[in-house]
């Protein structure tokens, strides 16, 4: 069974190849992203394996069907880059709904600690043998109020971590977890009360630009925003203006709404054409990591095994429980 694997990185090959070979699946690795120009590389394949920045629109879906591809296997939890409505009845889609909530939640806390204790600035400073502490004053997390938007597996792990630091936790979720002991509040109250806000929700019509120029005015002055979920939860231009106005104290971003042309690539020798991203990165109170939160050995192993198992289960005409358009 052949599977076309798009947007390949070295760590993908390391994690996927041994398990796929063991299960009798031949992966054809392509560095290029899946889009209208590259879809023909899937010719002769039973399935296509795609990632968050591949473009799976109507044109790509039609061509995959013409090529006889039976399954689109997303090796991630999110699928907002897939035209789900158009795909329905044409090609089946599976995903990896959970791989390691600890990886993402721990990265969110790592970003927060780095930001509030100025670790990134201290690291650069000491590389020049500058051991001054001027400008590195942070604040305690203990006793601060953290608002968690989205209380799925990742959100709840992040809540547990925050409680370990002695933080006061409040949360918002359209579908609150029953008997969880979580203190749920309305979103506007969470925005008003929180010293730190961390987003762990999917990107939907309801959550698109949940942080906008309108909602930023509701935030507590000096708030720290953390986004390890989906970039378009935050209006990047509004975020930039909020930081420039000194209303937002800091931003920790592992995702960015226009990340598709930049993240996962080495652009160190290029000029970044996105002025907003370049400006955000230049600010001392903004930390940007390039969709790195998932990247642990444990998560990569889980992603590989679940993806391969999804493909095998589908090939047998069985349900894996990870279908998203059936």
List active site positions: 230, 259, 291
Q: Pinpoint the alpha helices (H) of the chain.
A: 10-22, 58-66, 84-87, 101-116, 119-127, 153-164, 187-193, 213-216, 236-244, 275-282, 297-315
| Location of structure tokens 């979580």 | 182
Beta-bridge mates of residue 26: 2
Residues 6+ apart with CB under 8 A from 87: 56, 61, 72, 93, 325
The closest of 207, 205, 218 to 172, measured between CA atoms, is 207
In degrees and rounded to multiples of 5, residue 3 shows phi and psi of: -130, 125
Joined together, the tokens standing for residue 77 give 């939890």
The separation between CA 249 and the C-alpha centre of its own chain, rounded to angstroms, equals 22
Per the CB < 8 A criterion, the answer to whether 88 and 56 are in contact is no
């Amino acid at each position: 069974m052949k599977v076309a694997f798009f947007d390949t990185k070295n760590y993908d090959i390391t994690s996927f190849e041994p398990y796929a070979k063991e299960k009798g699946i031949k992966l054809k690795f392509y560095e290029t992203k899946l889009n209208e120009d590259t879809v023909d590389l899937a010719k002769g394949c039973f399935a296509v394996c795609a990632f968050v920045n591949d473009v799976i629109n109507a044109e790509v879906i039609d061509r995959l069907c013409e090529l006889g591809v039976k399954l689109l296997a997303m090796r991630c939890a999110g699928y907002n880059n897939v035209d789900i409505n158009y795909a329905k009845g044409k090609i089946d889609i599976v995903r990896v709904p959970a791989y390691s909530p600890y990886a993402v939640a721990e990265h969110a806390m790592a970003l927060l600690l780095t930001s509030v204790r100025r670790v990134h600035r201290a690291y650069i400073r000491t590389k020049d043998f500058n051991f001054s502490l001027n400008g590195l004053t942070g604040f305690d997390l203990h006793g601060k109020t953290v608002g968690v938007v989205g209380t799925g597996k990742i959100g709840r792990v992040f809540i547990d971590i925050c409680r370990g630091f002695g933080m006061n936790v409040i949360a918002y979720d359209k579908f609150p977890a029953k008997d969880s002991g979580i203190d749920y509040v309305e979103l506007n109250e969470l925005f008003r009360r929180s010293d730190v806000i961390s987003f762990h929700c999917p990107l939907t019509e309801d959550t698109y630009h949940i942080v906008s120029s309108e909602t930023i005015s509701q935030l507590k002055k000096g708030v720290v925003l953390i986004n390890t979920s989906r970039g378009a939860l935050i209006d990047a231009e509004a975020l930039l203006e909020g930081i420039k106005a000194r209303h937002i104290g800091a931003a920790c971003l592992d995702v960015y709404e226009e990340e598709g042309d930049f993240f996962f690539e080495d652009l160190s020798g290029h000029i970044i054409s996105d002025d907003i991203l370049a400006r955000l990165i230049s600010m001392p109170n903004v930390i940007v990591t390039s969709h790195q939160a998932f990247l642990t050995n444990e998560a990569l192993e889980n992603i590989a095994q679940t993806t391969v198992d999804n493909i095998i289960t589908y090939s047998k005409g069985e349900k894996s429980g990870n279908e998203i358009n059936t």
